[in-house]
């Protein structure tokens, strides 16, 4: 047996089964949408790219959340931290007339600092992640409201330029490049989302830090006995998640061009849902970035379908997401017990 | 001499002690800033007692009731995220039965379309069944409680909205008003309901073996199964109780506003209830639980909020304020800090002996 496995053997490894389930269900729902609303343009490139544009901020946050969940932890503060980032940018540029980069820098210090602090409390003071990050969420949300109760518009030449910057998707026709019809474009948020997914996948699969994350999630005690730096890894994971929350907040601010103290309420659970339907186990140890990518797409295709239908209340989206979650949990349960039995 | 010395160090290591001290400190600060904080007056026209303390207990009713169930869930080593959504569902169903067809009964008034017993019973039964659904996923499906209850948390509010067509109904039916705004023995009705619930749960867990079963399953499910406890049934019953209690809290909440508000009813209640339980000294890893501690935890959370309102601090600061106080309590309760105190107490005792 060669040391390097063949591509086929690597792809059919049973550990990827959850990722394939996510991709498969996404394709089924997408195809069903195509059959029902194909004539309304559901299958166009524009609709597909809009899935990314409308959910990039969830996706960016889900990158960090996936890592936290793989260590067996949870972070409930992401929505509030992202909202606070928006408030920093809005209040800083519009009221204090600071440069957006200054505000973003301050937000990064705040988000990463809070993340590291929470990681430290979780590991060294042994407080459950749920409680620690819940307190972090209350704190960030409280500071949001202290800054301003009202929504603040963001006006700054550089910020507006970044928000409206876009690359039109082109096709080659009649010897020259033309914009595809209906017009579809990719903006900064989408690129940031995809780059973060790539960075996340690189960290998890190709670095020692990533291997440590999986080891801690598999069994924290064994990881510690093996001499892995458990404390440092956990603190850094929460710090990285803080970074992702801030980036998600920037992306959301670019998307809505304002800051509001109550924005993204409950966002943390949407992000966790994305990761879970992407095949990440909340018990830790299992999860892939590609799964999270499709988890975000799968969660965002449902509201898109409801919009195309036009008659359903948007609340059906919540119910459909809940049912999807139930389906995935049952599949996971089945996979875990069947692989467990094989051993 | 066999006089038992008051063991202070043991008391300092108990988490409940810290919760009581925290609550006493907050109340003390209130008293120093404004001595009339503790005054309670009687209003003959409504036959009710008024005062900040009454208000704290009254307003904490929903969280206290829910956190009674949450204490048991956490003692099992789980968490129930769906309680807030169930509060919204209970309110939506109650108002649906009170107003049924809004097109026929256009103006809210002192009437109910369906018998009052249904208005009360159906929400409670539905919430209990939803709790049972959670319990079924956990006990029979072997799914982690936090994910199993995430399902209803995500789609519960959707169900509540669809039940009422996304509309907000109001009602003026006076028997319904009694639940949240009435009084009994000079006390607001929610306080009476809370006392009944707390006593009932306490009796049920401490006067029967059920509480011991819950703790045993929380510490080691397989060992308790081997010793003859039906772990599955214990889990089912605990989630059913939590669902039912969420339903009661939902009725109180919607009776206070005489309306259903599927977006905001019970928002973040799961978080507050979990915090109340943890501040009250029950370990999130499961095992021993303290219902008295939970009641104090719930009171602490409400006292902070009342404190902020009462002293005219910007209401928006409540969250940040709450976070700071809770952070202090949690850090003081954390294992390393308590060990440090235990070590110092032991050293002092050794020093006194020599």
Residue of A nearest to B338 (CA): A125
SS3 track for chain B: CCCCCCCHHHHHHCHHHHHHHHHHHHHHHHHHHCHHHHCEEEECCCCEEEEHHHHHHHHCHHHHHHHHHHHHHHHCCCCCCCHHHHHHHHHHHHHHHHHCCCCCCCCCCCCCCCCHHHHHHHHHHHHHHHHHHHHHHHHCCCCCHHHHHHHHHHHHHHHHHHHCCCCCCECCCHHHHHHHHCEECCEEHHHHHHHHHHHHHHHHHHCCCHHHHHHHHHHCHHHHHHCCCCHHHHHHHHHHHHHHHHHHHHHHHHHHHCECCCCCCCCCHHHHHHHHHHHCCCCCCCCCCCHHHHHHHHHHHHHHHHHHHHCCCCHHHHHHHHHHHHHHHHHHHCHHHHHHHHHHHHHHHHHHHC
User: From the candidates A68, A79, A87, A142, which should be mutated to test the interface with B, based on the most B CB atoms within 10 A?
Assistant: A142
Best of B18, B134, B149, B150 to disrupt the A interface (most A CBs within 10 Å) is: B150
Residue A91 is classified by DSSP as: I
Both tokens of residue B235?
């889990």
Show which of residues 266-285 on chain B sit within 8 Å of chain A, judged by CB atoms: 271, 274-275, 278, 284-285
Instruction: Report how far residue A216's alpha carbon sits from residue B228's, in angstroms, rounded to the nearest whole number.
Output: 34
pLDDT at B45 over 50: yes
Has residue A234 got a pLDDT over 90? Answer: yes
Cα–Cα nearest to B302, from B62, B99, B137: B62
The whole-number pLDDT of residue A257 equals 86
Distance CA B185, CA B352 (A): 52
Report d(CA B293, CA A172) in Å as an integer: 70
Q: Whole-angstrom Cα distance, residue A196 to residue A204?
A: 12
Helix H or strand E encompassing A253: helix A230-256
**Does B323 sit within 8 Å of A131, measured CB to CB?**
no
The pLDDT value given to residue A3: 53
Tell if the CB–CB gap between A127 and B275 is shorter than 8 Å.
Answer: no
Helix (H) or strand (E) holding A237: helix A230-256
Which residue on chain A is closest to B167 by alpha carbon? A313
Query: What's residue A233's pLDDT?
Result: 94
Which residue of A131, A149, A311 is the best one to mutate when testing the B interface, meaning the one whose CB has the most B CBs within 10 A?
A: A131
Write out residues 58-97 of B within 8 Å (CB-CB) of A: 79, 81
Tell me which chain A residue has its CA closest to the CA of residue B154. Answer: A322
CA A21/CA A236 separation, integer angstroms: 30
Res B42 pLDDT > 80: no
- What tokens were used for A295? 């988890």
- Percent residues over pLDDT 70 in chain A: 96
Token pair listed for B108: 């809210």
Residue with more model confidence, A161 or B99: A161
CA distance B257 to chain A (A): 22
Q: B316, A145: Cβ pair inside 8 Å? A: yes
Between A341 and A108, where is the model more confident? A108
Average pLDDT in the B121-131 region?
A: 92
B112 vs A35, more confident:
A35
Q: Could you tell me which residue, A41 or A251, shows the higher pLDDT?
A: A251
Given A145, A269, A282, which is nearest B319 (Cβ)?
Answer: A145
Regarding predicted confidence, which is higher, B323 or A245? A245
Helix B189-206 vs helix B210-219: crossing angle, to nearest 10: 70
* Alpha-carbon distance A130 to nearest alpha carbon in chain B (angstroms): 9
Q: What is the pLDDT of residue A68?
A: 95
Tens digit of each residue's pLDDT (9 = 90 or more) over B152-189: 888 888 888 888 877 788 887 888 888 888 778 888 88
Mutate to test the interface with A, among B158, B308, B317 (most CBs of A within 10 A): B158
Report how far residue A259's alpha carbon sits from residue A82's, in angstroms, rounded to the nearest whole number: 10
Residues contacting A12, CB < 8 A, separation 6+: none
Strand partners, A171: A178
Q: Do A131 and B330 touch (CB under 8 A)?
A: yes
pLDDT (average), residues B274-299: 85
Q: Which two tokens stand for residue A4?
A: 């390097």
With an 8 Å Cβ cutoff, are B162 and A282 in contact?
no
Task: Check whether B8 has a pLDDT greater than 60.
Answer: no
Q: Looking at the predicted structure, is the pLDDT value of residue A337 above 70?
A: no
Select the CATH number that applies to the domain covering A19-331 from these four: 3.30.750, 1.10.3470, 1.10.8, 1.10.4160. Answer: 1.10.3470
Residue of A74, A127, A146 with shortest CB distance to B317: A146
Q: If DSSP states are collapsed to H, E and C, what string results for A169-230? A: CEEEECCEEEECCCCCEEEHHHHHHHHHHHHHHHHHHHCHHHHHHHHHHHCHHHHHHCCCCH
Rounded to a whole number of angstroms, the distance from the CA of A222 to the nearest CA of chain B is 19
Rounded to a whole number of angstroms, the distance from the CA of A322 to the nearest CA of chain B is: 5
Q: Which residues of B touch A328 (CB under 8 A)?
A: none
Average predicted confidence (pLDDT) for chain A? 87
Give chain B's mean pLDDT. Answer: 82
The H or E element that residue A258 is part of is strand A258-259
Query: Could you give the CA distance from residue B40 to residue B36 in angstroms, rounded to a whole number?
Result: 9
CA distance A298 to A257: 26
DSSP 8-state assignment for residue A160: H
- Predicted local confidence at residue B220, as pLDDT: 82
Q: Is the pLDDT of residue A338 over 50?
A: yes
CB-based contact (8 Å) between B209 and chain A? no
pLDDT band at B64 (very low <50, low <70, confident <90, very high): very high
Per-residue pLDDT at A58: 93
Mean pLDDT on A4-28: 80
In B, minimum Cα distance to A332 occurs at: B143
Question: In whole angstroms, what is the distance from residue A135 CA to residue A158 CA?
Answer: 34
pLDDT for residue A4:
63
Q: Rounded distance, CA B102 to CA B96, Å?
A: 9
Round to whole Å and give the CA distance between B259 and B96. 10
Q: Tell which of A265, A318, A337 to mutate to test the B interface (max B CBs under 10 Å).
A: A318
Task: Sketch the domain layout of chain A as residue ranges.
Answer: 19-331
In this complex, which of A131, A282, A318 lies closest to B157 when CB atoms are compared?
A318
Rg, C-alpha atoms of chain A: 21
Token pair in block for residue B110? 């002192």
Asked if A329 lies within 8 A of B331 by C-beta distance, the reply is: no
* A42 contacts: CB under 8 Å, gap ≥ 6: A33, A34, A36, A304, A305, A308
Give the residue carrying structure tokens 């970044």.
A162
Greater confidence (B267 vs A66) lies with A66
Beta bridge partners of A179: A170
A275-322 tens-digit pLDDT: 988 888 888 888 899 999 999 999 888 888 888 887 777 788 888 888
Name the closest residue on chain B to residue A327, using Cα atoms: B151
Section B68-94 average pLDDT: 90
A131:B274 CB<8 A? yes
Give the residue-averaged pLDDT of A259-270: 84
Using beta carbons and an 8 Å cutoff, which residues of A are at the interface with B? 74, 76, 121, 124-128, 130-132, 134-139, 141-143, 145-146, 149, 261, 269, 272-273, 276, 282-283, 313, 315-319, 321-323, 325-326, 329-330, 333, 337
Contacts of residues B23-32 at CB distance under 8 Å and 24 or more positions apart, as own/partner, are B23/B296, B23/B299, B23/B300, B23/B303, B26/B300, B26/B303, B26/B304, B26/B307, B26/B325, B27/B303, B29/B307, B30/B303, B30/B307, B30/B310, B30/B311
Residue B84 C-alpha, separation from nearest chain A C-alpha, in angstroms: 12
Average pLDDT over residues B275-294: 84
Mean pLDDT value of segment B261-270: 81
Tell me the DSSP string of A14-32: GGGHHHHHHHHHHHHHHHH
Q: How far apart are the first and last CA of chain B?
A: 20
- Predicted ipTM? 0.79
């Amino acid at each position: 047996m060669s040391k390097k496995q063949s591509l086929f053997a690597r792809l059919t490894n049973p550990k990827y089964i959850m990722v394939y389930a996510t991709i498969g269900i996404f394709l089924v729902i997408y195809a069903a949408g195509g059959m029902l609303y194909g004539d309304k343009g559901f299958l166009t490139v524009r609709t597909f790219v809009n899935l990314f544009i409308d959910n990039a901020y969830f996706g960016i946050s889900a990158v960090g959340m996936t890592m936290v969940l793989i260590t067996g932890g949870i972070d409930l503060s992401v929505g509030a931290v992202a909202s606070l980032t928006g408030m920093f940018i809005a209040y800083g540029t519009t009221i204090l007339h600071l440069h957006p980069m200054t505000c973003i820098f301050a937000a990064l210090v705040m988000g990463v600092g809070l993340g590291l602090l929470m990681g430290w409390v979780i590991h060294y003071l042994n407080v459950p992640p749920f409680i620690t990050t819940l307190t972090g969420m209350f704190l960030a949300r409280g500071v949001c409201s202290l800054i301003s109760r009202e929504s603040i518009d963001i006006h700054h030449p550089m910020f507006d330029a970044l928000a409206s910057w876009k690359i039109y998707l082109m096709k080659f026709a009649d010897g020259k490049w033309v914009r595809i019809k209906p017009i579809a474009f990719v903006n900064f948020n989408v690129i940031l989302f995809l780059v973060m997914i790539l960075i996340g996948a690189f960290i998890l699969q190709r670095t020692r830090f990533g291997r440590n994350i999986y080891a801690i999630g598999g069994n924290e005690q064994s990881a510690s006995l093996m001499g892995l730096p458990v404390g440092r890894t956990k603190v850094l994971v929460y710090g990285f998640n803080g970074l992702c929350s801030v980036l998600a907040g920037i992306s959301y601010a670019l998307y809505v061009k304002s800051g509001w103290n109550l924005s993204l309420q409950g966002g943390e659970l949407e992000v966790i849902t994305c990761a879970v339907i992407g095949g990440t186990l909340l018990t830790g140890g299992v999860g892939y970035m590609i799964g999270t990518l499709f988890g975000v797409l799968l969660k965002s295709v449902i509201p898109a379908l409801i919009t195309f239908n036009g008659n359903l209340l948007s609340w059906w989206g919540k119910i459909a997401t809940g049912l999807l979650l139930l389906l995935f949990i049952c599949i996971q349960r089945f996979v875990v017990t069947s692989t467990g039995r094989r051993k | 001499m066999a006089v038992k010395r008051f063991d202070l160090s043991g008391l300092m290591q108990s988490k409940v002690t810290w919760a009581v001290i925290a609550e006493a400190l907050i109340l003390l600060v209130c008293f120093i800033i404004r001595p009339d904080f503790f005054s309670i007056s009687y209003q003959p026209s409504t036959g009710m007692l008024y005062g900040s303390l009454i208000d704290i207990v009254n307003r904490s009713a929903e969280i206290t009731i829910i956190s009674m169930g949450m204490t048991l869930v956490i003692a099992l080593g789980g968490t129930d995220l769906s309680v807030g959504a169930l509060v919204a569902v209970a309110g939506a169903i109650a108002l649906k039965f009170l107003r049924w067809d809004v097109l026929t009964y256009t103006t809210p008034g002192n009437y109910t379309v369906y018998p009052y017993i249904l208005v009360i019973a159906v929400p409670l039964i539905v919430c209990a069944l939803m709790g049972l659904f959670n319990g079924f996923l956990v006990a029979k499906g072997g799914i982690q409680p936090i994910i199993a209850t995430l399902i209803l948390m995500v789609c519960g509010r959707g169900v509540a909205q669809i039940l009422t067509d996304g509309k907000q109904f109001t009602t003026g039916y006076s028997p319904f008003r009694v639940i949240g705004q009435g009084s009994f023995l000079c006390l607001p009705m929610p306080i009476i309901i809370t006392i009944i619930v707390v006593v009932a749960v306490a009796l049920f867990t401490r006067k029967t073996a059920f509480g011991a079963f819950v703790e045993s399953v929380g510490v080691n499910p397989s060992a308790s199964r081997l010793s003859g406890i039906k772990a599955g049934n214990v889990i089912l019953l605990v989630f059913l109780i939590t669902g039912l209690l969420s339903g009661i809290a939902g009725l109180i909440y919607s009776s206070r506003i005489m309306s259903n508000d599927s977006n905001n009813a019970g928002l973040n209640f799961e978080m507050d209830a979990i915090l109340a339980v943890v501040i009250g000294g029950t370990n999130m890893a499961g095992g021993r639980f303290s219902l008295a501690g939970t009641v104090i935890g719930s009171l602490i959370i409400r006292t902070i909020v009342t404190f902020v309102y009462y002293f005219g601090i910007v209401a928006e600061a409540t969250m940040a304020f709450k976070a700071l106080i809770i952070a202090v309590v949690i850090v003081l309760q954390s294992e390393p800090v308590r060990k440090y105190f235990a070590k110092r107490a032991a050293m002092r005792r050794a020093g006194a002996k020599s």
